[in-house]
Amino acid sequence: MILVTGGLGHIGSATVQALLDLGEQCVLVQRRRTGIPDGRSSAPVTSVEADVKDLDALRAIGNDHSITGIVHMAGSMPWPPSPDEAPVQAARDALSGLFNVIEVAQEWGVRRLSLASTIGVYTGLSDTGALREELPVPLTAPHVIPTFKRIGELLGNHLAQATGLDIIHLRISGAWGPLGHLPNFAFPAPQFVHAAATGTPVDLSGVTGRLRADDGLDLCYVYDLGRATALLQTADTLTHTTYNVAAGRPTTNAEVIAAIESVVPGFDVELEPGSSAPPSYLDITRLHHDTGYRPEWDTERAVADYIAYFRAGNAQ
């Protein structure tokens, strides 16, 4: 049975579905109780309300279930940042969740522990184009998310060697689709889709980057991310400890808008032409070699599905 922290969230939910499709059973851990997403209520899924910062609560899950693997999607970072919270305590709390997950993984003798990381760990490199896992990532970061993901990778690698655990790091890029952030501060594609699906003006407030027509990112539809994660978690043998998890190609704003227009004729949005920087993307050679993964959701298919999702009355 696979334990998935953040299992009712954006990528966690898609990962759970992909694990179920592979014949696995899952325990979903969420800090706040919410319902199991549609389509999973009759599946072999157990949902548990627990905070990963509570070691006793995590241990109790192991008492009730035979956990053989863990996918840690819950954010081990002080997020969202709060000016009212003492920063040292916030950092301590964030890292305690990561330590607790690794501790119970060792106690339970799990086969593999997958830790979610981010494309943001590459921030600061001068390389453009394909970003490979062997690139030497900087130790500094301009944002709390890549900062704590880099810390998590360093701690994970150290504790894997010290404990003998099979710990892998998933550098995830451009997650979008059902249950995703709206707005997503890093890129505007979800805002475009939401506006087209609801017939409302495009609202780019809250989006802080990649706002020109040819700005791009390795956008990966959430169902592909979930499937890739599930394949890595269940693979018999892996040859690396760090994997890029992505579509393996950049997608520009102009491409997203063109795909939307094919579904919603007449949709358009005025963006400044050109790009603010050459787009980078994640090289997924390792992922493909070790799992056979290839992305299945191209931009057109993803846009059509996401529009249908919003038109069905979903708000996020």
Contacts of 109 (CB under 8 A, 6+ apart): none
Name beta bridge partners: 242. Answer: 169
State residue 108's pLDDT score: 97
Q: Is 35 a residue whose pLDDT tops 70?
A: no
pLDDT band at 39 (very low <50, low <70, confident <90, very high): very low
* Mean pLDDT for the stretch of residues 253-282: 93
Of 14-28, 30-44, 61-75, 102-116, least confident by mean pLDDT is 30-44
State residue 94's pLDDT score: 86
Q: Is 43 a residue whose pLDDT tops 90?
A: no
State residue 80's pLDDT score: 65
Supply the pTM of this predicted model.
0.93
State residue 77's pLDDT score: 73
Rounded to whole angstroms, the Cα distance separating 302 from 141 reads 31
Q: Is 23 a residue whose pLDDT tops 60?
A: yes
State pLDDT tens for residues 94-130.
899 999 999 999 999 999 999 999 999 998 887 668 9
Pairing type for strands 251-252 and 216-217 reads antiparallel
Domain ranges of the chain: 2-174+221-245, 177-219+248-282+291-311
**Topology of the domain covering 2-174+221-245:** Rossmann fold (3.40.50)
